[in-house]
């Protein structure tokens, strides 16, 4: 009861403050700050943070738009839709406005377009620009354009945990195992080092490289151990719009086609507080890859060429992957090597075992697509083919739940997709088949029934033997396999102040899963009510419930049986722009978890954020207290971090968390960041386990970052 009294008092205090200050705030003229709006957009679109979302890939895709804003005078319908901000009605009104009045003269002209409210425009601003299109032809060579391009920068970042982890301690006699060998330790320093260089011009070219050393990895040159200075190196060179050559990529790249069932790249959210726009995906084609995720991308070459109304894409990729090789033995069909588990995608090479698995598998991929687009952009249909071959066969450990997972050396896919705009309905879908005979299908629509009501529906079916290595279509699972489901989304805006968003998703898994020893099912629904009494205040309340079958934790028999487990998340949030330079965010979130008739557990977090923006310097801080009964009730909450980095820590146990983020513009071309974050736990003598274990009850992290523009 004490915790809920504290929450109630906190909310009453915030409500009283807002009530007495409402008129004062409403009279102030808001100043647009694109970075603050970008942060608000990230927090609003990811409704509930959890461990099933690949945040790094999602944020990287989002920042690609942020660093390379779309020119509204040349942007296509698909490019605008890929931002997940505008409704179908708003996109239609945008092109109607351009047809009547010509190209936009200023970004502020967005206010004159029907259905473009201030909240939508604020979310849109960080990702778009308005540039003149009637310029003289640029006859400079590509090399000269690159040398003279003002949009280029070098980014250097260092991150470190201050407390000593077990993996970095010196070996002692106590570390000797029973067989006489010593315990493993990390080979490198606890520093995470990151370097990125990029020069690019929107829809023209992009050139750059990314280097990273994870904490615990060595910085050494030893080709015999596959060590070349930084542990991970990524590079790309991409050009766009050279006549009929729409895109040419060399080095590392991603491809986004259709609904991402076979080729998925770029920014993608899935289920979230934006219940309509994120249901569908757009074909954005070839994109340079600049993330530090050490998988899910191609390395080689790709090109898109236009033949009339058809865009033809072809690509080749040859990339090394991590895996554990072992001999198949004399009693098998072959005496060749095989890797007995799926590809290792952690990208970590800190210990002798991790280093031994590095780059053991050669993965060769090839394929292409042909896409037809109508002149009015209302219809898109296309076909995609993809083949992936490994240098050694996959032989998984025999478990019932992975009986239908991919095995062998080669997989191929053939798929078809469509996207059709009819009046206020946008129909979309994709179907594909893999070499195993398994089929994947996704189909749905989004509709603007009126300026106040939006509606979406999506059906998906992924067979238990459907295999796709570069797909990431809408699903409940982290991969598109062994799942059927139907999703309904709704958004209602009765007026400019109120917004109701909701979705319901029902899914089932025809075959067994890890820790689920029978076919299972579940559902998830979310509702969010937002209220914006003025331009400077936003309040919302959110509820999400998710029920899934899983092995019963109280079973004492050898045979597990499944039972439903239910988790409920609650969230109350207040965003307030107190002055032109001060932003406040107050949040209370809590959850409950229960499996069948077992006891119910709970957890909560109370969070206060403060952001200051004073021209050349910016400051952000957070203070959070949390109390969770178990790991099932861990609380996730997005935190501000240095540019191009992210932080979504899990608050678990009992304690508090605090961070301080400073940004200072030393000159127009030099920016500095410093971030210090720490978590202190009560009733704990150590944190984590194994080589990551920290003796004590506090964990502290520091970030240093430098950006130099040339």
DSSP labels, 96-132: HHHHHH-S-S-GGGGGGSTT--HHHHHHHGGGEE---
∠ Cα 688 691 694 (to 5°): 45
Stretch (H or E) spanning 63: helix 55-67
According to the model, what pLDDT value does residue 334 have? Answer: 43
More confident residue, 599 or 553: 599
Q: What is the pLDDT of residue 258?
A: 94
β-pairing, 70-71 vs 128-129, is parallel
Q: What is the DSSP letter of 692?
A: G
Of 603, 619, 622, nearest to 611 (Cα)? 619
Give the per-residue pLDDT at 55.
58
pLDDT for residue 375 = 86
Q: Higher confidence at residue 142 or residue 8?
A: 142
- The arithmetic mean of pLDDT across residues 339-357, rounded, is 82
Q: Which of 134, 74, 83, 144 is nearest to 280 (CA)?
A: 83
Report the pLDDT averaged over residues 42-46.
64
pTM for the predicted model, two decimal places: 0.86
Percentage of the chain exceeding pLDDT 70: 84
According to the per-residue pLDDT averaged within each range, which of 182-196, 198-212, 653-667 is highest?
A: 653-667
Give the model's pLDDT for residue 253: 95
Domains of the chain, residue spans:
70-129
Cβ distance 669 to 124 under 8 Å?
Answer: no
SS3 of residue 5 by DSSP: helix
Which residues, in sequence order, are CB contacts of 278 under 8 Å at separation 6+?
45, 84, 268, 269, 270, 271, 272
pLDDT at 245: 96
What's the pLDDT score for residue 89? 81
pLDDT of residue 460: 97
The pLDDT score that the predictor gives to residue 57 is 60
Tokens 């001999």 — which residue? Answer: 327
pLDDT digits (tens, 9 = 90+) for 165-187: 999 988 765 566 556 556 788 98
Whole-number Cα distances in Å, 664 to 39, 303, 614: 18, 40, 10
Query: Higher pLDDT residue, 156 or 54?
Result: 156
pLDDT at residue 547 tops 50: yes
Give the whole-angstrom CA distance, residue 630 versus residue 637: 17
CATH code of domain 70-129: 1.10.150
Which has more confidence, 245 or 327? 245
The predicted pLDDT at position 222 comes to: 78
Backbone angles phi, psi at 606, to 5 degrees: -115, 125
529 sits in the region (left: phi over 0; alpha: psi -120 to 50; else beta) called beta
Which carries the bigger pLDDT value, residue 634 or residue 17?
Answer: 634
Find, among 551, 526, 552, 550, the residue nearest to 540 by Cα: 526
In the predicted structure, residue 26 carries a pLDDT above the cut 50:
no
Q: Tell me the per-residue pLDDT of 612-663, one tens digit each, with 9 for 90 and over.
A: 988 899 999 999 999 999 999 999 888 888 988 878 888 999 999 999 999 9
Q: 10 Å Cβ neighbour count for 558?
A: 5
pLDDT band at 130 (very low <50, low <70, confident <90, very high): confident
The answer to whether 520 and 509 have CB atoms below 8 angstroms apart is yes
The tokens describing 144, both together, are 């000269």
pLDDT mean across residues, the chain: 85
Buried b (16+ CB within 10 A) or exposed e, 159-193: bebeeebbbbeeeeeeeeeeeeeeebbbbbebebb
Q: Tokens standing for 504?
A: 């319901």
């Amino acid at each position: 009861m004490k915790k809920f009294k504290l929450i109630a008092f906190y909310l009453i205090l915030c409500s009283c403050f807002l009530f007495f200050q409402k008129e004062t705030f409403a009279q102030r003229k808001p100043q647009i700050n694109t970075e603050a709006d970008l942060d608000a957009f990230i927090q609003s679109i990811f409704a509930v943070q959890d461990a099933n979302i690949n945040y790094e890939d999602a944020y990287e895709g989002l920042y690609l738009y942020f660093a390379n804003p779309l020119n509204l005078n040349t942007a296509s319908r698909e490019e605008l839709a890929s931002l997940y901000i505008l409704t179908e009605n708003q996109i239609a009104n945008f092109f109607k406005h351009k047809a009547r009045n010509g190209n936009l003269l200023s970004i502020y002209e967005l206010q004159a377009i029907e259905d473009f409210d201030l909240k939508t425009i604020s979310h849109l601003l960080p990702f778009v620009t308005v540039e003149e299109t009637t310029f003289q032809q640029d006859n400079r060579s590509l090399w000269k354009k690159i040398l003279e391009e003002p949009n280029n920068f070098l980014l250097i970042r260092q991150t470190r945990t201050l407390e000593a982890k077990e993996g970095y301690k010196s070996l002692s006699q106590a570390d000797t195992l029973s067989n006489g060998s010593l315990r493993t330790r990390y080979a490198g320093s606890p520093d995470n080092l990151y370097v990125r260089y990029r020069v690019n011009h929107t829809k023209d070219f992009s050139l750059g490289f990314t280097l990273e050393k994870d904490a615990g990895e060595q910085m050494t040159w030893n080709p015999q151990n596959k060590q070349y200075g930084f542990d991970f190196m990524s590079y790309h060179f991409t050009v766009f719009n050279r006549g009929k050559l729409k895109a040419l990529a060399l080095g590392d790249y991603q491809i986004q086609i259709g609904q991402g069932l076979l080729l998925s790249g770029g920014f993608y959210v899935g289920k979230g507080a934006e219940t309509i726009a994120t249901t569908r995906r757009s074909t954005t084609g070839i994109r340079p890859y600049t993330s530090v995720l050490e998988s899910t991308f191609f390395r080689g070459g790709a090109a898109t060429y236009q033949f009339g109304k058809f865009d033809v894409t072809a690509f080749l990729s040859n990339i090394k992957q991590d895996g554990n090789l072992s001999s198949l033995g004399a009693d098998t069909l072959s005496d060749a090597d095989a890797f007995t588990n799926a590809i290792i995608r952690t990208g970590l090479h800190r210990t002798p075992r991790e280093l031994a698995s590095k780059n053991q598998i050669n993965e060769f991929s090839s394929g292409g697509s042909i896409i037809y687009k109508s002149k009015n952009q209302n219809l898109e249909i296309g076909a995609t083919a993809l083949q992936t071959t490994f240098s050694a066969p996959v032989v998984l450990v025999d478990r019932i739940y992975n009986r239908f997972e991919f095995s062998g050396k080669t997989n191929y896919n053939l798929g078809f997709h469509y996207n059709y705009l009819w009046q206020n309905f946008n129909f979309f879908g994709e179907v594909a088949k893999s070499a195993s005979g398994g089929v994947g299908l996704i189909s749905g629509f989004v509709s603007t029934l009126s300026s106040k009501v939006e509606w979406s529906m999506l059906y998906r079916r992924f067979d238990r033997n459907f295999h796709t290595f570069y797909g990431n279509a809408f699903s409940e699972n982290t991969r598109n396999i062994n799942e059927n489901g139907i999703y309904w989304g709704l958004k209602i805006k009765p007026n400019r102040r109120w917004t109701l968003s909701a979705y319901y998703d029902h899914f089932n898994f025809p075959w067994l899963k890890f820790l689920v020893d029978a076919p299972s099912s579940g559902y998830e629904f979310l509702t969010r009510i937002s209220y914006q009494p003025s331009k400077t205040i936003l309040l919302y309340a959110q509820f999400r419930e998710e029920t899934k079958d899983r092995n019963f934790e109280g079973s004492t028999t050898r045979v597990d049986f499944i039972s439903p487990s239910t988790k409920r998340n609650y969230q109350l949030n207040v965003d307030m722009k107190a002055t032109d330079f001060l932003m406040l965010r107050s949040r209370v979130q809590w959850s409950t978890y229960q499996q069948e008739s077992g006891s119910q557990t709970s957890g909560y977090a109370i969070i206060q954020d403060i952001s200051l923006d004073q021209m050349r310097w910016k400051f952000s801080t957070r203070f959070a207290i949390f109390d969770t009964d178990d790991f099932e009730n861990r609380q996730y909450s997005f935190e501000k971090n240095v540019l191009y980095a992210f932080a979504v820590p899990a608050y678990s146990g009992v304690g508090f968390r605090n961070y301080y983020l400073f940004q200072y513009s030393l000159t127009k071309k030099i920016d500095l960041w410093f971030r210090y974050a720490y978590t202190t736990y009560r009733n704990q003598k150590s944190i984590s386990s194994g080589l990551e274990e920290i003796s004590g009850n506090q964990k502290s992290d520091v970030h240093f970052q430098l950006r130099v523009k040339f």
